[in-house]
Amino acid sequence: MNPFWSQFHRNAPTHVVSRHDGLKRKPPTKFLLGRWFAILSASLCIVAASNALAGAGGESIFTTQMPTLLSANDNVAYEMGTKFQSAVGGNITAIRYYRSACDLGPHTGNIWDAAGNKLASVGFAGETASGWQQQALGTPLPILANATYIVSVNTPGCYVDTPGGLASAVTNGDLSTIVGSNGVFGSPAGVFPTSSFNNSNYFRDVVFTPGTSSSACINLQKLVSVDGGKTFQLSTSLSSPVLEQSGIPAQYELIVSNCGNVTLNNLLVDDCVAITATGVPNGPPYSNCYYPELIPSTWPSGIANTLAPGTSVTFTKAQIPGLGTDLCNGQPANTVIQNNAEADSTSATTGAAVSIDTFALVKCPGATPTANIALAKQISVDGGATWYDADTTATAPVVSAPHGATYRFIVTNTGGQDLSNVTVSDATLGISSVSIGTLAAGQSVTITSASAGFSNLNQPNRCPVAGTYTNTATVVGTPVYGGANVMASNPAVLICQAVTPPCSTTGSNASNFNGTAIPSGDYIWFNSNFTANGVKDGTNFYLTQSTIQFSSNGASYSVLVPNAVITFKASVSCASTSFNTTLNRWETIVPLSGSDEIFLSGVGFPVPAGFQKGINPVTWNGTFATDTSGASLNWKWGAAVYTQFTTNYNQLGVKPTHTAGCSYSNSDHAGTPENFKSYVTGGARGGGGSNFTGSWSGTTSVTPLCH
């Protein structure tokens, strides 16, 4: 056994347990953070006494090569490396690299295997300002023959480089570089470097001592995974042990390799299993701590219990179930668990014992963190310039109806574990379980109408009439460590008030129908228009509470007329009109210059029973208002009969003005239903033919009174 381990066990609390082969062995030891502990990588090569080790100087990849660029600078922190292999097994004793004068450090050297597992690491000390730097490893690292390794050293952004320097193999002694995608780098510093550009040589190197023809060497690496077995890493530093994630038990991997030039026989592998909160080992009854040493039939791939020079074998929890045991189960937070492993063998040439011990450290996270989520729902009534956290009427914005609103959600993971399958719903806005994916612990995301699936957060007509409008959003997330889903809800309130324009008055205009009777099933198209005086840019005229009243065959009728708003704008050159189905009103925009006929409002009335000819009077009433003091209007109305019609008013194609209409360049009067002209017939105030609006009533002048 390695002398370090003997010293280590003398310093550690121990009790001895018996192996089934009669030998004595120490159980795993639990340490709390803060205890003094010195850790060295465990490696042992036993060399036959009749043979000498390689020279102390060792071999390196680069000898006389010099970089062509001495101060390349990307201002990016990199991990830069060289991929290499050795023709024979042996030991890496040091890491070296060529330092640029503008590279300020500090520097750490790393050795990786091809899978990205970090095998050794050392910090550089006593460096010179530039040129070759070399730092010995605390313990030599055994490597296999013809296996790919990466040596890397970090840089804060300034480095040396020979572009294309590794396009072909560089060989010195047993060492040679790998051809193809060599000269590797990664960012930030400390990551496994995998990128390559132009096969550049960044002058990262090792010092290697080859094994002799009669050297027997065994290496054992114990790697730990804290992401469910996706990646494995070394963990031998008590100051920074790998941290197990709550709900994801650490699992281990053993890699046994023959790093010498002699076949190893009688290979046995042991691994401890669990340790209780009191520090007493438990598990299967084999030696009260260890799984049985693996017999030939349990070795993967039929390797039996021998290892040829340069070969290795990997064990996972599939071969040693204890490698998947949750050692932190029941342990206090921040407990550091040391989990030991051992490989024993004998030299095929001398029969001498060749053994190695190693370990991995894991810090326990303690109790599973809580899962929680928060939702803030905010509302804006000014296009996003101002946001209100309007949970109640006391904090709600107040606007004049009708009005639009825009919403946004702020979802925050307020727990200690990640949440998956996070969805947001708001039934009022038509948002149903829209996914926002995974939310890391502490992460917050803001969702707007521009976010995928959330266009309904923009509501142009949120409050069509006066009232209080409340809608509630809900967010749901699934804890990644299991357990019930977490949920949060939050409302947003909008208060809409009815606002009477400052200037208003009532008006009435009476006339009569002509001498043509109107059959049941036809439609009467009542329409009105006006001219305006005293308007300015932005003037609005409003028609509300409007009805048309008449009697026929002894029955009285009162037809409700949709509201209307007409806006004068200097910025438009032609008139347009549309029907707002949400607000049930006509909305017309006209140039500031106006027209001799501007559409005011209209209603299609289906005749329920035959109307007599010459109905008189027919009276149109309404409330007229404006927001411009002194503005007035002169209005009149007409009525035409249609054999076919629709009350889907946006399908009528109503002409907005007599002149300067955006869509219809003809001589038709304002209020003409352009899409139904072919169905006009005689009756009401029209004679059919081209009389699409009916003849006009008399003109009535209205000047709204300002309060």
pLDDT digits (tens, 9 = 90+) for 593-630: 999 999 999 999 999 999 999 999 999 999 999 999 99
Check whether 357 has a pLDDT greater than 50: yes
Give the separation between CA 526 and CA 641, rounded to whole angstroms. 9
Query: What is the DSSP pairing of strand 486-497 with strand 431-439?
Result: unpaired
The least confident of 74-78, 314-318, 501-505 is 314-318
Check whether 290 has a pLDDT greater than 50: no
Residue of higher predicted confidence among 109 and 301: 109
How sure is the predictor about 212, in pLDDT bands with cuts at 50, 70 and 90? low
Residue of higher predicted confidence among 278 and 572: 572
Check whether 422 has a pLDDT greater than 60: yes
Check whether 645 has a pLDDT greater than 90: yes
Phi, psi of 202 (to 5 degrees): -95, 5
- Token pair belonging to 125: 């000390």
Residue for token pair 């159980």: 27
469 three-state secondary structure = strand
The residue-averaged pLDDT of 552-575 equals 95
Strand order across the beta sheet in which 131-143 lies = 131-143, 90-99, 204-210
Give the separation between CA 503 and CA 495, rounded to whole angstroms. 24
Whether 632 contacts 594, CB under 8 Å: no
The least confident of 48-62, 117-131, 419-433, 581-595 is 48-62
The residue-averaged pLDDT of 321-347 equals 78
The residue-averaged pLDDT of 110-132 equals 90
Give the separation between CA 389 and CA 396, rounded to whole angstroms. 8
Whether 406 contacts 382, CB under 8 Å: no
pLDDT in tens, 393-406: 989 998 888 889 99
Check whether 655 has a pLDDT greater than 50: yes
pLDDT in tens, 291-333: 333 333 344 444 457 888 878 888 888 777 777 777 777 777 7
Please name each of the domains of the chain with its CATH number: 3-51+220-363 (no CATH), 69-210 (2.60.120.820), 374-497 (2.60.40), 503-706 (no CATH)
Look at the alpha carbons of 114, 118, 119, 120 in this order and tell me if their dihedral is positive or negative.
Answer: positive
Biggest alpha carbon distance in the chain? 135
Mean pLDDT for the chain?
Answer: 83
6 three-state secondary structure = helix
Residue 7 is predicted with a pLDDT of 26
Residue 367 is predicted with a pLDDT of 65
Residue 304 is predicted with a pLDDT of 53
Residue of higher predicted confidence among 400 and 284: 400
Whether 416 contacts 441, CB under 8 Å: yes
Residue of higher predicted confidence among 298 and 542: 542
How sure is the predictor about 239, in pLDDT bands with cuts at 50, 70 and 90? low
Whether 173 contacts 209, CB under 8 Å: no
Residue 638 is predicted with a pLDDT of 98
Whether 319 contacts 252, CB under 8 Å: no
Check whether 272 has a pLDDT greater than 60: no
